[in-house]
Structure 1
Amino acid sequence: MAKRAYNIPNMLTYGRILAVPLIVLCFFFEGRLQSSDPARWTALGLFAVASITDYLDGYLARIWNQTSNIGRMLDPIADKLLISVCLLLLAADTEQTIAGWSLWAAIIILSREILVAGLREYLADLKVSVPVTRVAKWKTAAQMLALGFLLAGPAGEKVLPYTIEIGITLLWVAAILTMYTGYDYFRAGIKHVVDE
């Protein structure tokens, strides 16, 4: 059991969880919430590596036959931590990367993640599994891409004009996919929730 907890796929998941406070530290490097260009590039680099591990950990666990209960439990937690913390950080930063109407896209994404996590936990107690759909994988990819552009933010604008606008557009695409997949999960799970 202990050996499986420290296999490479699980170590990648642990690394993704560890990346979350490191990304936050990039924005608090000077003791207050501030997003200098070097801080944003460092946060983007950490986020990119963490996003790649999201794909790699599951892929390696399957091809090496190293799936484990701790990996199945921590993988979605690591994803939700990474996405949620980055959304909150970008909504709170002094540059107001996510502001105005765009906050609604972030709220939709955060709300869905919490609701689906609760539904999955409830269904797990009933021994009901809700598989991850292809659209849910697209949703995650759209979220990761959007957050990548938004973490680059004003620093990215100096390299690629409209970086923030691209990020906000992708954030809304992710929010729409999030609503669709959230409805999909609830439709699949509601029959087990409603008492007969």
Structure 2
Amino acid sequence: MTRIEGTTILITGASRGIGRALVDQALARGAATVYAGTRTPLHHPDSRVQPVTLDVTKSEQITAAVNAIGSLDLLINNAGIAGYDDLSDPAVIAEHLAVTLFGTLAVTRAFTPLLARSNGAIVNNLSVNAFAPLPLIAYSVSKAAAFSATQSLRTLLAAQGVSVYAILTGIVDTDMSRGVEILPANLLTVGP
């Protein structure tokens, strides 16, 4: 799948920030229908946007979304959380993994049959933090795990005709990143 025009797209985490920008870009590029997956109700002025209540950590909401959508060309797994931590609280790590890794896998698993029918694609919006953890350590751990899962999904789903991609964004000026202090470029190194 190389085009957006005329397609049906689901974007998780679509209520604000990058997710909202992805919805707007899909519309600008001619998507026929954009399902905007959000945890809270969403209103969008464009009638091509169909709100879908979708907390990626809730299996019943994922199932309801699959039933409501019915056919799909492109899944963009964008839902995420970001919190400051020092890996000392296992609950914080578990929360990040629940959304970024397990939520992404659950949504992907649920929508794969629809994507296989359309020879569709999956785009996992990840982060350069998968390779260079900044002050968001559990976030970085979860993004690294999701990147590894994306690599595996690419191989596993190819036989079903589903393409899988990873987007590794840098820091984007959104509500989620507000307050993140950027280190000087010469301090952003991977390895010893």
Give the TM-score, by structure 2 length.
0.30
Query: Where is the helix percentage greater, Structure 1 or Structure 2?
Result: 1
Q: Which has the higher contact order (CA 8 A, sep 6+)?
A: 1
Query: Where is the strand percentage greater, Structure 1 or Structure 2?
Result: 2
